[in-house]
Structure 1
Amino acid sequence: MTTLKKILLSGLCLLGPLPAKADNLLIWAPVRVSEQSYKATMGFRLPFEWETSAGADLALASTEGEAIQPGSEQATFWGKITKARVTPAGKAQQDASIRIDTLRGSGSLMLSRSRSFILSDSLDLQTSRAVSVGYAAVETRQTSVTATQALKLIYPWTGTSISAGSSVTDFGKDFSSSVGVSQTVLPNLNLNASVTDPLSSERSASVNVNYRVSW
């Protein structure tokens, strides 16, 4: 094990007892993922009209013999700016984010916009659009551009929501769509069903139940 890796592993081992956040402007979230793996998100945020945040994700894992597990290292730089506007009738938000994986030579840039409306006493509407540009040095298609949009109708009093979405990659080379429904059965129990590419002969469906516990 190199000296640099020893130092990084020793530093991550000490992250556990530290406070998760020093103040409102500091992002500091160390996590012990397992007995031999550690992860830390660190950075800062600036409370401007466009809320700005930037930082890095660091991770490392070792074997029982204290050797570094191949491929476990992570050193990703990220940045994000967000502007949100809240009114009695709904909320609008715009985001721009970037991630750069310094170890694997990949990165992504995403621009997104979302809005939510109160259509009536029994119906809410959410819409979102996003464009992302990705680069992966090891992929056959190194650069890709993906545009997505989604719409969701929500019935707050019954806990039911109906959603539809679509995505286009590289200006029409790949296209996919989906429709789904979600139903709240109990306060912490949700039933979800979705169909991917419903108009295609290769369509697929999934049904799952989610139960959330907080403590």
Structure 2
Amino acid sequence: MKYFHILFILLLTGNMACAQQTPSKKNKTMQDLPKTEVETPNGYEVATLGAGCFWCTEAIYQNLQGVETVRSGYSGGHVDQPTYRQVTSGTSGHAEVIQFYFDPAVISFEEILEVFWSTHDPTTLNRQGADVGPQYRSAVFYHNEAQKEAAEFYKNKLNASGAFDKPIVTEVTAFNNFYVAEDYHQNYFNDNGMQPYCQFVIRPKLEKFKKVFAEKLKD
């Protein structure tokens, strides 16, 4: 992971002008749903990311400087107001995601992507470890053209660099909707840290993240 961290920093300093403008594939069933309006506080931007189980992803981004109000939820599907049972069945089309506000004066979207691609396996389609299904897919749901260009640029650059043994399969799709997950999913690791999944899956990932990104952690 340290090699990846250094490699991404080098990529961050490169010129994004050569980003490939790959057309996004439109999911008509998803686009038919009402678009979620996101009210962003003054001076902040919003990000929506899927990196497997949202319990893990939430625990990581809650610790980043400049990141506020991390919420677990569902995006990218064709069912309005889905339940956890519907999403985990793999039939609603949604991915487990987190959505949060970030202060671009403190942390850039490029740095957010660096953490994103460093803390999960973006080469396994519809899978993260033992968690299998389309709800666990790797995804960036961009909110503007700048986020789209950054995600596509660094995805292409990482693929070309050989940072991973296999091609990155991360979905880069325009944001359309976000449904907040049930209350018991929110702040999950902090509230349930002694549960086996937290101890054996989330905690080791969180500890590795904190070692690599120590300079970006909240006090």
Indicate the TM-score class for this superposition, using the shorter chain for normalisation: under 0.3
**Superposition TM-score, scaled by structure 2 size:** 0.24
Q: Give 1 or 2: higher helix fraction.
A: 2
User: What is the TM-score with the length of structure 1 in the denominator?
Assistant: 0.24
Higher RCO, 1 vs 2 (CA within 8 Å, ≥6 residues apart): 2
- The structure that has the greater radius of gyration is 1
